[in-house]
Amino acid sequence: MTMRATLGAGCYWGTENYVKNTWGKDGSVTRSAVGFMGGAGANPSYDAVCSGRTGHVEVLDVDLADPKGAGPAVVYENLIRYFFQFHDPTTMNRQGNDAGTQYASVIFVYDEEQRRIATKVKGELQAHLDAGRLKAGFAGKTVSTTIVGAMPFYAAHNSHQDYLQKNPGGYCNHRIRFKAWPAVPEL
């Protein structure tokens, strides 16, 4: 299984901050870069992506490690669960005040094991929402996150890397929407 993950969850500054500096503080993230994936054309500029003309999504691209020896699949599944906790996956191309195709909720997968895990976790979240087991403050009731094959990654300008570390008061619309996954009742 590939230990690389690329996630679109709205503004990439917040995605990087939550994944790298919160979830990955135990050493699970060994490399991170914000940038763009999924559109037409190579090396798009930030302005071109924000115009909506390229179709690229703002993403966080990370390499993962397994510091606790749980196995790559467990590390990846834990990341995907966390991904759904810090952004609103029910809004198509929108996170809070940020609207546009560049703010889509997307999981770019590198192999079939990642696709299986992402699909499973997305389905579990939808089941929790359908059953009313989760009060997450999402705008909608249907998970709109797409799961697609990874495409070429284009790193954003250096000034955008580690932006919220460099600018602690900078804009971030992400927040933890629920602290833990609900237990699934036994049948």
Distances (CA, A) of 112 to 6, 104, 141, 176, 187: 15, 22, 27, 28, 29
Reported as a single tens digit per residue, the pLDDT across 119-176 is: 999 999 999 999 999 888 899 999 999 999 999 999 999 999 999 999 998 888 899 9
Higher pLDDT, 186 or 2: 2
Give yes or no for residue 102 having a pLDDT over 80: yes
Which residue carries 């929108």 as its tokens?
A: 94
Give yes or no for residue 2 having a pLDDT over 90: no
DSSP secondary structure of 100-118: SGGG-EEEEESSHHHHHHH
Q: Which of 11, 59, 109, 143 is catalytic?
A: 11
Active-site residue 11, yes or no? Answer: yes
- CB contact at 8 A, 144 and 105: yes
Distance of alpha carbon 133 from the chain centroid: 22
Q: State the pTM of this model.
A: 0.95
Q: Which two tokens stand for residue 56?
A: 């690229």
- CB contact at 8 A, 98 and 11: yes
pLDDT band per the 50, 70, 90 thresholds, residue 185: low
Helix 112-131 with 72-86: angle, nearest 10 deg: 40
- CB contact at 8 A, 89 and 80: no
